[in-house]
Structure 1
């Protein structure tokens, strides 16, 4: 993806296809979200001063409520989304979060 925001979405979803990545959690109604403020340095037309980044974080911090993002998840939904089978879980030393982390880490290798 040419857009850094879309690239973050693809990595979070562990997918290279934007339409499949959007299925991860985009739906009508009120939803919990994750906000990412990042310095993309060398990305064309994305350069911002550190003061701009700090100001964005300050503005976002006053507009949102911080909640834990890890620990609670719907295991059947996660397994279905990432196509993780009982056989795959049995073959690994890790648990479901570890398998998902591995999928995301391997995404760049699969390009």
Structure 2
């Protein structure tokens, strides 16, 4: 993808196609989210160091958010359905649902 936000979405969803990645979606109502701050310079040549830009961007959104733990909390059945992880596939590995998802995301780069 040419857009960094789309690239992050594709990796988060473990998909190559944007439409498939968007299917991951967000539920109606309040739900925890992850906010990613990217401090790379914009085409107009952003000012300061990358760290300065990241700090400024994080400060800019911090007042809009209520920090909470999100990483690690998930519904295994929903994740298995989204990633089409079968009982057979899970039984064939020593890992967990999380391990299977990590492997699929890692394979996105390998299979490019």
**TM bin (shorter chain):** 0.7 to 0.9
TM-score by length of 2: 0.84
Q: CA, structure 1 residues 11+3, in 2 after alignment: closer, same or farther (shift >3 Å)? A: same
Residue 24 of structure 1 aligns with which residue?
24
Q: Name which of structure 1's ranges 21-30 and 81-90 shifts more when overlaid on structure 2.
A: 21-30
Stretches of structure 2 lacking an aligned partner (at least 5 in a row):
none
Gaps of 5+ in 1: none
After TM superposition, the score normalised by the length of structure 1 is 0.84
1:84 corresponding residue in structure 2: 85
Q: How far off its partner does 1:25 sit?
A: 2.1
Does residue 64 of structure 1 match 2:65?
A: yes
Shift of 1:102: 0.8
Higher RCO structure, 1 or 2 (CA under 8 Å, sep 6+): 1
Question: Does the 8 A contact of 1:39 with 1:47 survive in 2?
Answer: no
RMSD: 2.0
2:74 is the counterpart of 1:73? yes
- In 1, Cα distance between equivalents of 2:88 and 2:101: 15
Cα 1:46–1:28 change in 2 (3 A) is farther
* Contact kept in structure 2, 1:14 and 1:21, CA below 8 Å: yes
Deviation at 1:15, TM superposition (A): 0.2
1:47 Cα deviation after fit: 5.5
Shift of 1:56: 0.8
Q: Report runs of 4+ in structure 1 exceeding 6 Å deviation.
A: none
